[in-house]
Structure 1
Amino acid sequence: MANQQLFLGIDCGTQGTKALILDTLSGQVLGQGAAAHSMISGANGRREQDTQQWLDAFTQATHQALAAAGVDGQAILGIGVSGQQHGLVLLDDQGQVLRPAKLWCDTETTPENDRLLAYLGGEDGSLTRLGVVIAPGYTVSKLLWTREQHPQVFERIASILLPHDFLNHWLTGRHCSEYGDASGTGYFNVRTRQWDARLLEHIDPSGRLQSALPELIEAHQPVGRILPAVAAHLGINPDALVASGGGDNMMGAIGTGNIQPGVITMSLGSSGTVYAYAAEPVVSPQPSVATFCSSSGGWLPLICTMNLTNATGAMRELLELDIDAFNALVARAPIGAKGVCMLPFLNGERVPALPHATGSLFGLTTTNLTRANLCRAVVEGTTFGLRYGLDLLRANGLEAQSIRLIGGGSKSPVWRQIVADIMDTTVICTEQSEAAALGAAIQAAWCHSGSQQSLADLCERCVKLDPASETRPITEQVAASQKAYANYQECIATL
């Protein structure tokens, strides 16, 4: 075992928890595991999860990954946790969870967000004060909603945690947060890297919320050692260090080697994200660009679309298609789907900024209403949202030679070509599609080394690109895609 250095990376997402075992000496992922979560949904945009599911899934996925890797859990040196951003977990003074976690995709708190935004002086005021424009998914409106809808719960709040902070607390007993995930709360200033206490006092003048905030730590700092009982429960080394961890996008950046300028990561998950590393907090005047902190010591300007594989999945279910049949139909339809344009805003939308929008189909005729065109239109519609966001990032000075593609959608060669053509940029997948779990494991190694190993060296060794997936834009398809994108923009203008 002396020729291995083993780390556990965990990614607790909306749909499930993934675990992987990384040997940082060889740079190889030795084994993986996964367990699903379910959602509590309501007609008014409620999207919540029972936090116990996360703990059960963490345990199950870890056991699976250790078994798949064929390694002894006692050899694990450290753990890194990636978590879905913006979620709100509330604990009482006994450390007990007070209610289900409200998630990033919850839009029930839109009225509260609107009121908080007005208090901040609108989008410009929010940008000036925080460096980001608060959106309904962010944590801050969830706190105001809790105060108004569940005053008894609100009175008992002793600790306010994000999903990854909650998992770190379960592992170590310590309440802390790092700057990357903290920047998505809406009560954190991304320029100064400090909590905005005045905003929390506006929600509750007693000052209780401020005292419930976790301590902020740097990305390279470990939270501490795992608790002996949790180590025994997971079957891992009781001396394992727990890294600072971070939000899924921040960990995805590390897991795609996106820790210096020039790389763009694009994630095709249930939501879509595009982000790139920046050494300075150059805040975009565009409200849709979130200049979050990274979990590697810099900043991570990012755009997020609310609808991606949730929309393609809904179309697949409607037409009763498996993934292969769906992809075959997408490939059969021409670029632009013969004029069928889908705005896939099933969940409202963040980019373009249309929180109250619903999904719609434009351009249907008796001749173009085919299954193939519908399938093509939903893939193009979701990808156009990412193009819209990429244009915003480029307008803010972002340059990139290629796009590193991750997430479920990246496994489809048809979709990769559509992305390359619409973005007019070469795309390539990383070998390890679970980029957030990989990034968490790499960050754990970085924290464990006391920063003796540079993060760049670890990424160099552990992040591998898949040359077979490299997809270049095709000139005539770029031109056709540009026309289809112009049609999409015209459809957006009608909303």
Structure 2
Amino acid sequence: MTQQNLYLGIDCGTQGTKAIVLDAATGKVLGLGAASHTLISSANGRREQAPHEWLDAFTEATHRALQQAGVDGQDILAIGVSGQQHGLVLLDDQGQVLRPAKLWCDTETSAENHRLLDYLGGESGSLERLGVAIAPGYTVSKLLWTLEQHPAVFARIAHILLPHDYLNYWLTGRACAEYGDASGTGYFNVRTREWDLPLLRHIDASGRLEAALPHLIEADQAVGRILPAIAEHLGINPNALVSSGGGDNMMGAIGTGNITPGVITMSLGSSGTIYACADQPNVSAQASVATFCSSSGGWLPLICTMNLTNATGVVRELFELDLAAFNTLVEQSPIGAEGVSMLPFLNGERVPALPHASGSLHGLNMTNLNRANLCRAAVEGTTFGLRYGLDLLRQTGLQSHSIRLIGGGSKSPVWRQMVADIMNTEVICTEQSEAAALGAAIQAAWCQSGESLEALCTRCVSLDADSSTRPSATSVSAYQQAYERYQQHVATL
């Protein structure tokens, strides 16, 4: 029997936490566990979560994954953590959470972001200085918001952490960050890979913020060993290493084998993301393209839309449809939904850059207003947003022969065909759809074993040949017309 090399990969997302047990010797995922989170939201754009829920979900998901795998947690060699990007977790000097974490999808700090952008010289000034154009949802505006709205909380800040940094802190007691996730803070220079300390001093001259920054480590470095009490709580080997981890997009890149130029990954999750691998920080003049660092040593040019399955899910719930019934209705409606267009900007939108937009329906009349057309318009509208983003990425010179599709939406054959046709590119799913959790486990193996990341990805990332979907020339043409109509509606905003 092959000696097992067991690693735990965790992905703490907006809706819940996933855990997988990976045997890196065979490349097989042995067990998967999940637990959900709740969201604190209000009409002013507030989107927050209580970090203690992440810890409870981490524990529950880990126990379920170990149970499904039928392995002993004492055999886990290392843990890797993936986390939703941009979120702000503030701790006091005792390591206690000071207030709920503001999330990536929070737009309550739009005014603060606008003022910081003015200070940086607008989007072009931000791109020149940081290599990214700060946007509502990035971490930096959350700091200014905390200073102004909660000065008593601000005065007690001892640690500024991203969600995955906080989970690593809970596991090890060490406050560290790695370059990939740090790229999305808005106070990090992606070209030089350093914190922008003068920007933090502009927010608060006391030096409190820079003193609270985590220590930066490389993607293949360990944060440390798991704390004995946490190891016991999780039922894990007390000698297990905790790898640097990273943002969910960076870990998703590793989990789809997107670690060399030429591959594009598209995620159909609550939000929609598209990213590719680059060996140079080719910063786009387009502010919507975020040239983040990767968690594999290079860069990860990326676009993110704020609305995807969250928007299609609302329509599904409105009509009280299960997924199968929803997909059936989407199929019943023709391409272009008989003239019905949805701009699904229910959370505001980042790509295109419309933070204050709301959702809208266009082209309704007495004959086309039906459930099937509304369901299709929701899926088309969210996918057109991704097409807009892919066009921006392609303008930076990125080439790709196929798109690796992940996330909940990738499980739908109808949606896969729609993506292939709208993007005019072959799409294929990875066998393991929980790519961020898989990437975290692969990174843990890279960190602990010293084996090359390329070798680990070759063994642990498999493509699902049955999911391969090619574009149909007739449909490509029909979607192009519907996409141009979408662009006209967006232009009116």
* Partner of residue 361, structure 1: 361
Q: Which runs of 5+ in 1 are unaligned?
A: none
**1:156-171 maps to which residues of 2 (within 5 A)?**
156-171=156-171
CA drift of 1:320 comes to 1.3
Query: In 2, Cα distance between the equivalents of 1:99 and 1:196?
Result: 25
Query: In 2, Cα distance between the equivalents of 1:373 and 1:97?
Result: 46
* Partner of residue 477, structure 2: 479
Query: In 2, Cα distance between the equivalents of 1:353 and 1:64?
Result: 40
SS at match of 1:19: strand
Q: Is residue 310 from structure 1 mapped to residue 310 from structure 2 by the alignment?
A: yes
* Partner of residue 280, structure 1: 280
Query: In 2, Cα distance between the equivalents of 1:205 and 1:167?
Result: 29
* Partner of residue 492, structure 1: 490
Query: In 1, Cα distance between the equivalents of 2:178 and 2:400?
Result: 27
Query: In 2, Cα distance between the equivalents of 1:2 and 1:382?
Result: 45
Query: In 1, Cα distance between the equivalents of 2:280 and 2:165?
Result: 25
Query: In 2, Cα distance between the equivalents of 1:320 and 1:77?
Result: 45
**1:171-186 maps to which residues of 2 (within 5 A)?**
171-186=171-186
CA drift of 1:2 comes to 6.3
**1:321-336 maps to which residues of 2 (within 5 A)?**
321-336=321-336
Q: Is residue 9 from structure 1 mapped to residue 47 from structure 2 by the alignment?
A: no
* Partner of residue 108, structure 1: 108
* Partner of residue 380, structure 1: 380
CA drift of 1:319 comes to 1.2
CA drift of 1:365 comes to 1.1
Letter in 2 for 1:169: Y
Letter in 2 for 1:179: Y
Letter in 2 for 1:131: G
CA distances 1:351-384 after superposition (whole Å, capped 9, x unpaired): 0111111101111111111111101100000000
SS at match of 2:361: strand
Query: In 2, Cα distance between the equivalents of 1:267 and 1:354?
Result: 21
Query: In 1, Cα distance between the equivalents of 2:370 and 2:54?
Result: 41
CA drift of 1:449 comes to 1.7
**1:83-232 maps to which residues of 2 (within 5 A)?**
83-232=83-232
* Partner of residue 469, structure 1: 467
**1:331-350 maps to which residues of 2 (within 5 A)?**
331-350=331-350
Letter in 2 for 1:353: A
Query: In 1, Cα distance between the equivalents of 2:216 and 2:251?
Result: 17
Query: In 2, Cα distance between the equivalents of 1:434 and 1:483?
Result: 34
**Residue identity (%):** 78
* Partner of residue 68, structure 1: 68
* Partner of residue 250, structure 1: 250
SS at match of 1:488: helix
SS at match of 1:355: coil
**1:419-434 maps to which residues of 2 (within 5 A)?**
419-434=419-434
Query: In 1, Cα distance between the equivalents of 2:320 and 2:70?
Result: 38
Query: In 2, Cα distance between the equivalents of 1:75 and 1:310?
Result: 37
SS at match of 2:35: strand
CA distances 1:226-250 after superposition (whole Å, capped 9, x unpaired): 0111001000100100000000000
* Partner of residue 233, structure 2: 233
Query: In 2, Cα distance between the equivalents of 1:213 and 1:356?
Result: 30
CA contact (8 A) 2:2 2:25 kept: no
Query: In 2, Cα distance between the equivalents of 1:335 and 1:158?
Result: 54
Query: In 2, Cα distance between the equivalents of 1:232 and 1:369?
Result: 57
* Partner of residue 293, structure 1: 293
Letter in 1 for 2:301: P
Letter in 2 for 1:157: I
Letter in 2 for 1:279: D
SS at match of 2:469: coil
CA drift of 1:108 comes to 0.3
SS at match of 1:403: strand
CA drift of 1:80 comes to 0.2
CA distances 1:128-179 after superposition (whole Å, capped 9, x unpaired): 0000000010000000000000000000000000000000000000000000
Query: In 1, Cα distance between the equivalents of 2:307 and 2:150?
Result: 29
Structure 2-normalised TM-score?
0.99
SS at match of 2:365: coil
Query: In 2, Cα distance between the equivalents of 1:131 and 1:205?
Result: 24
SS at match of 1:379: helix
SS at match of 1:56: helix
CA contact (8 A) 2:181 2:247 kept: yes
Query: In 2, Cα distance between the equivalents of 1:45 and 1:110?
Result: 9
Provide the aligned length of Structure 1 versus Structure 2.
493
**1:454-465 maps to which residues of 2 (within 5 A)?**
454-465=452-463
Letter in 2 for 1:422: I
Query: In 2, Cα distance between the equivalents of 1:35 and 1:325?
Result: 25
* Partner of residue 52, structure 1: 52
Query: In 1, Cα distance between the equivalents of 2:141 and 2:313?
Result: 29
Letter in 1 for 2:304: C
* Partner of residue 404, structure 2: 404
SS at match of 2:97: coil
CA drift of 1:462 comes to 0.3
* Partner of residue 391, structure 2: 391
Query: In 2, Cα distance between the equivalents of 1:444 and 1:88?
Result: 24
Query: In 2, Cα distance between the equivalents of 1:319 and 1:66?
Result: 37
Q: Which runs of 5+ in 2 are unaligned?
A: none
Letter in 1 for 2:361: L
Q: Which moved more, 1:2-11 or 1:73-82?
A: 2-11
SS at match of 2:383: helix
CA distances 1:78-116 after superposition (whole Å, capped 9, x unpaired): 000000000000000111110011100000000000000
CA contact (8 A) 2:18 2:32 kept: yes
Letter in 1 for 2:484: A
* Partner of residue 445, structure 1: 445
CA drift of 1:271 comes to 0.2
CA drift of 1:300 comes to 0.1
Letter in 2 for 1:421: D
* Partner of residue 35, structure 1: 35
SS at match of 2:10: strand
CA drift of 1:43 comes to 1.7
CA drift of 1:42 comes to 1.5
SS at match of 1:418: helix
* Partner of residue 436, structure 2: 436
CA drift of 1:464 comes to 0.5
* Partner of residue 20, structure 1: 20
CA drift of 1:188 comes to 0.1
CA drift of 1:318 comes to 1.1
Query: In 1, Cα distance between the equivalents of 2:40 and 2:480?
Result: 39
